[in-house]
Amino acid sequence: MRRLFLALVLATGLVGCNPATPVVVAPAPMLSVNAGWHTNLAATTCGDWAHSMTQTQRVTAAGSLVAIFRSMEVSDASAGTEFAPIFATEIGAACTKYYADAPTTGVIAGATMAYMDDLSLHPAHH
């Protein structure tokens, strides 16, 4: 799971690096949303999040993403699905705040920024 997080961070461009240096990124896994959304979340853009997904699809996707982020941080953390509605809103806000000029940026980038910005989403460390 930590490798997935690193791949997601690299894919979002959050790691400072020389732009001339190529970055190899492993593809993100298929994230099943199960709410009728037809696209892998790894291929879903911030524009899709804001304009094409329903609120139910966004909340379901946010629940999947917050569970992944929390388990990467603390392996035995609860899924945190109770945070899904607020996290869905925060993902949209992060997409707007950080990627307004690039609506084709992947929603996982917005989710990563939203998760990093909101410490209340993080599990307690033992």
Evaluate whether residue 56 is within a structural domain.
yes
Q: Is residue 24 in a domain?
A: yes
Q: What are phi and psi of 45, to 5 degrees?
A: -95, 165
Is 65 contained in some domain?
Answer: yes
Structure tokens at 117: 């910005």
C-alpha 45/C-alpha 70 separation (Å) is: 22
- pLDDT of 12: 45
Whether residue 15 lies inside any domain: the answer is: yes
pLDDT at 24: 40
Q: Is 88 exposed, middle or buried (0-12, 13-18, 19+ CB in 10 A)?
A: buried
**Would residue 14 count as lying in a domain?**
yes
What's the confidence (pLDDT) of residue 31? 58
Q: Do residues 53 and 60 touch, judged by C-beta distance below 8 A? A: no
Instruction: Give tens-digit pLDDT for 18-42.
Output: 344 443 444 454 555 556 788 888 8
Count other C-beta atoms under 10 Å from residue 120's C-beta. Answer: 7
Q: How many domains does the chain have?
A: 1
Sequence-distant (6+) residues with CB within 8 A of 25 are: 7, 10, 11
- 69 alpha-carbon distance from chain centroid: 8
Residues of the chain where predicted confidence (pLDDT) is lower than 50: 1-27, 29
Contact of 103 with 45, CB cutoff 8 Å: yes
Its pTM stands at: 0.75
Structural domain includes residue 126: no
- Domain assignment present for residue 55? The answer is yes
Domain that holds residue 15: 2-121
Whether 106 is covered by a domain: the verdict is: yes
pLDDT at residue 15 in the model: 40
* pLDDT reported for residue 45: 95
